[in-house]
């Protein structure tokens, strides 16, 4: 497949996900913002706000190219080369603290020297961890991975546990999911194999999240739960601003700042030295923000 074919499939994925999210939300509609990058390429940022279920969310497509920034060349330890990168990136912040935050990214990267790879992943960040939802989510991820290779889920699940980890808090961002990067062709998997896997991962997003939206949207909550949601959103913002490689890549390649920071919540709180009550649902959630939990 060509980079143009990959780019066009990602555009179609963006269209499909936006349509399914709008239908499930029932009120919110995506507003599109087309942008261009002076060095080459651009994207379609789509933001949904003030829906029945989604308070703020974004489904972004981009395809950018040009000379590779020095910082990235140094990180890859290669000589000067041009790059092309395309993908879809999603973050949903629901109105209800009983509906989880979700993130997905699927992407393709190639360079003029012949280097190319795929990356991506999906992870779930509940404000209150629900065993049933966590198990459902991870079983969907495992079934997707198993369609391609039995080694993928355990490998990519551990990768997600390690990647979506807020080191300065010593807690995971949520219940994890799968994460993978720099998947290139090798003796076992062709480039076409890698692409089919990434397509399968991307296609999981809408059915999984629309199910969780519908299942949890009418659960009761009060002001205490909203305040906890704002604190958890603060943790989410900390990860994205301090540790997320996608955020750093976008800023390093002079991407569009508004689109890159779309992942941040509409409102988040930071309370000094907040300590949940022993035995509370908030404390139970914190106790589960650890690596290595077997959800399947």
Whether pLDDT at 255 is above 90 = no
* Element holding 111 (H helix, E strand): strand 101-111
Query: CA-based Rg of the chain, rounded to a whole angstrom?
Result: 19
- Scan for tokens 């079983």, then name that residue: 139
Residue 194 structural domain: 3-287
Among the listed residues 93, 103, 127, 138, the single catalytic one is 103
138 is annotated as an active-site residue: no
- Looking at the structure of the chain, the number of domains it has is 1
Q: Where residue 58 falls among pLDDT bands split at 50, 70, 90?
A: very high
Question: Taken in order 67, 69, 160, 210, is the CA torsion positive or negative?
Answer: negative
pLDDT at 252: 80
Q: Which two tokens stand for residue 161?
A: 């546990």
Burial class (CB in 10 A: 0-12, 13-18, 19+), 185: middle
Whether pLDDT at 249 is above 90: no
The CA distance from 156 to 2, in Å, is 26
Sheet holding 101-111, edge to edge: 31-36, 41-49, 54-67, 82-94, 101-111, 116-125, 176-183
**Residue 13 in domain:** yes
- Residue 240 in any domain: the answer is yes
- Looking at every residue in the chain, the average pLDDT score rounds to 94
H or E segment at 227? helix 223-242
d(C-alpha 123, C-alpha 138), whole Å: 9
Element (H, E) at 140: helix 131-146
Question: pTM (2 decimals)?
Answer: 0.94
Residue 66's CATH number: 3.40.1500.10
Q: How far is C-alpha 235 from the geometric centre of its chain's CA atoms?
A: 15
Which token pair is 158?
Answer: 């551990």
Confidence of residue 39 (pLDDT cuts 50, 70, 90): confident
Q: Which residues of 200-221 are buried (b: 16+ CB within 10 A; e: fewer)?
A: ebbebbbebbbebbeebbeeeb
Q: Is residue 100 part of a domain?
A: yes
Q: Is residue 293 part of a domain?
A: no
Residue 294 lies in a domain: no
Residue 295 located in a structural domain: no
Bridge partners of 41? Answer: 64
For residue 80, what pLDDT band results from cuts at 50, 70 and 90?
Answer: confident
């Amino acid at each position: 497949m060509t980079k143009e074919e990959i780019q066009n499939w990602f555009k179609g994925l963006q269209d499909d996900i936006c349509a399914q999210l709008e239908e499930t939300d029932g009120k919110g509609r995506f507003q599109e913002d087309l942008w261009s990058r002076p060095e080459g390429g651009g994207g379609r940022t789509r933001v949904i706000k003030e829906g029945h279920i989604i308070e703020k969310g974004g489904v972004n497509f981009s395809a950018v190219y040009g000379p590779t920034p020095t910082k990235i060349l140094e990180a890859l330890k290669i000589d000067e080369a041009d790059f092309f990168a395309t993908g879809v990136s999603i973050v949903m912040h629901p109105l209800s603290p009983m509906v989880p935050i979700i993130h997905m990214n699927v992407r393709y990267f190639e360079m003029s020297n012949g280097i190319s790879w795929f990356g991506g992943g999906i992870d779930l960040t509940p404000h209150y961890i629900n065993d049933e939802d966590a198990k459902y989510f991870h079983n969907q991820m495992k079934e997707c991975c198993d369609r391609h290779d039995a080694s993928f889920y355990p490998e990519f699940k551990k990768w997600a546990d390690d990647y979506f980890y807020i080191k300065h808090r010593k807690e995971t961002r949520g219940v994890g999911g799968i994460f993978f990067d720099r998947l290139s062709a090798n003796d076992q998997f062709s480039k076409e194999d890698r692409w089919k896997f990434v397509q399968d991962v991307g296609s999981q997003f809408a059915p999984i999240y629309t199910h969780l939206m519908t299942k949890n949207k009418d659960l009761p909550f009060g002001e205490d739960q909203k305040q906890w949601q704002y604190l958890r959103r603060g943790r989410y913002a900390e990860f994205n601003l301090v540790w997320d490689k996608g955020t750093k890549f976008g800023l390093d390649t002079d991407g569009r700042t508004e689109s890159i920071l779309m992942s941040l919540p509409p409102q988040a709180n930071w309370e000094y030295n907040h300590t949940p009550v022993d035995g509370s649902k908030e404390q139970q959630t914190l106790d589960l923000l650890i690596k290595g939990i077997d959800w399947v």
